Amino acid sequence: MLSEERHKLILDKLEKESVVYLNDLVEYLNTSESTIRRDLIALDKAGLLKKVHGGATSIKEISITTIDDRVENRQNLNINEKIKIAEYAASLIKDNDFVYIDAGTTTELMINFINNTKAVFVTNGIVHARKLIQKKCTTYILGGELKLATEAIVGAETVNALRKYNFTKGFFGVNGVDIERGFTTPDIKEAMVKSEALHRSKKRYILCDNSKFDEISSVTFAGIKEAKIITKVLENNRYRQEAEILEVEK
Q: Is the pTM of this model over 0.75?
A: yes
Q: Does position 236 have pLDDT exceeding 90, yes or no?
A: no
- Domain boundaries, given as residue ranges, for the chain: 3-57, 64-247
3-state secondary structure (DSSP) of residue 25: helix
CA quadruple 99, 148, 185, 248: dihedral sign: positive
Q: Give tens-digit pLDDT for 99-157.
A: 999 999 999 999 999 999 999 999 999 999 999 999 999 999 999 999 988 899 999 99
Cα angle: 194, vertex 199, 204; to 5 degrees: 80
The pLDDT value given to residue 238 = 76
How far is it, in rounded angstroms, from Cα 153 to Cα 110? Answer: 19
User: 3-57, which class in CATH?
Assistant: mainly alpha
3-state secondary structure (DSSP) of residue 44: helix
How far is it, in rounded angstroms, from Cα 96 to Cα 216? Answer: 35
Q: Give tens-digit pLDDT for 55-72.
A: 998 876 667 777 776 665
3-state SS, 178-192, equals: ECCCEEEECCHHHHH
3-state secondary structure (DSSP) of residue 37: helix
Architecture of domain 64-247: 3-Layer(aba) Sandwich (3.40)
